[in-house]
Amino acid sequence: MVERVRDEREAANAMNGPCLIGGVGDAAEHVEGEKDAIERDERQQEEEVKRSWSEIRLAIEELSVVEHGRGGGKQLVSSPPPPPTLPFLALSHLLLQVLDKIGPTMAVLRLDVKRNIEKLQELYLLDPSKYSTLEEILEKEMEEGTARKLDSCARAILWLTRSMDFTIALLQRLEEGSDQQSFAQLVEAAYLATLKPWHGWISSAAYKIAMKLMPDRKMFVSLLIGKCQDCAALKEDIGKLAKLLQPFLDNTHDMMVGSSTDH
């Protein structure tokens, strides 16, 4: 009798005690683990897709994040917020990749862009929260009286912006121009409209030499197109990029003019 009661009690404990609770806990952990695994797989797939994107599509993604952070253009009534530093650096890095596709003819401009990126990045990394916007970097140098110096971050911002002006002007001409125009003609038109007014004779002479070694238009387009893309998709992406990038550049130029460093 005593043994039967004890057996019944143990059976009840087995059904209602720690074993059942532990089973529920294990099941919950299993479900959570599967959820984490699915999220990791989704992130990996997203990264793989992005690796197949062209530099243009990556720039669109970067600017879309900036636009979303600004409220999707709803703040146009008031003055736009200052350009954020990190997306500006990311766009500058993408600019380098586009210049690489043009080839060694852009070596002088590429080196200038690279140096300016490194200069700006070095200051930003000293205190990312303090220098989260380009305006904060400008204000720092204006207070120190160094904004107009040749090695200042203010000049780095200015020339990176001008270089992006050149890039978007070139891409728009590539999208809109006649197929009869050579790539060298497109580059020359973009250069005259953006960088030429600010270049001295040394830079202009270097550009003239570079013009003789430009790749052909078809080759450049093939280098710009990402995986699983075609010319129609590239043209559409260029239009999207121009729509997003131009206000960003205009905002940066306005900031530079306001600080009297746009020279």
Q: What's the structural domain count of the chain?
A: 2
* Claim to verify: residue 66 and residue 20 sit in the same structural domain: no
Q: Encoding tokens for residue 245?
A: 């990038």
Summarised one tens digit per residue, pLDDT across range 1-26 is 545 545 555 554 544 544 434 555 56
Are residues 13 and 60 both part of a single domain?
A: no
CA dist list (Å): 194 to 49, 69, 176, 244: 33, 29, 17, 18
Check whether residue 91 and residue 32 sit in a common domain: no
Please state the three-class secondary structure of 209-254 as a single string: HHHCCCCCHHHHHHHHCCCCCCHHHHHHHHHHHHHHHHHHHHHHHH
User: What radius of gyration do the chain's Cα atoms show?
Assistant: 28
Long-range contacts (CB closer than 8 Å, 24 or more residues apart) made by 172-175:
172/238, 172/242, 174/217, 174/220, 174/221, 174/238, 175/235, 175/238, 175/239
Arithmetic mean of pLDDT, 133-160 = 94
* Rounded average pLDDT over 121-129: 96
Whether 39 and 64 map to the same domain: the answer is no
Same domain (yes/no): 164, 187:
yes
The pLDDT assigned to 36 comes to: 65
Q: Assess whether 33 and 129 both reside in one domain.
A: no
What CATH number is associated with residue 194? 1.10.3520.10
Q: Which of 87-96, 142-151, 251-260 has the lowest mean pLDDT?
A: 251-260
Residue 77, pLDDT > 80, answer no
Write out the residue range of the structural domain in which residue 129 sits.
Answer: 54-258
Structure token digits, residue 112: 């200038």
For residues 238 and 220, is the Cβ–Cβ distance under 8 A?
A: no
Per-residue pLDDT reduced to its tens digit, 173-208: 998 877 778 888 999 999 999 999 998 887 778 777
Given a cut of 70, whether residue 153 has pLDDT beyond it is: yes
Residue 75 has pLDDT above 80, yes or no: no
pLDDT tens-digit map of 217-249: 888 888 888 776 788 888 899 999 999 999 999
Residue 100 domain flag: yes
- 263 in a structural domain: no
- At residue 175, the pLDDT reads 87
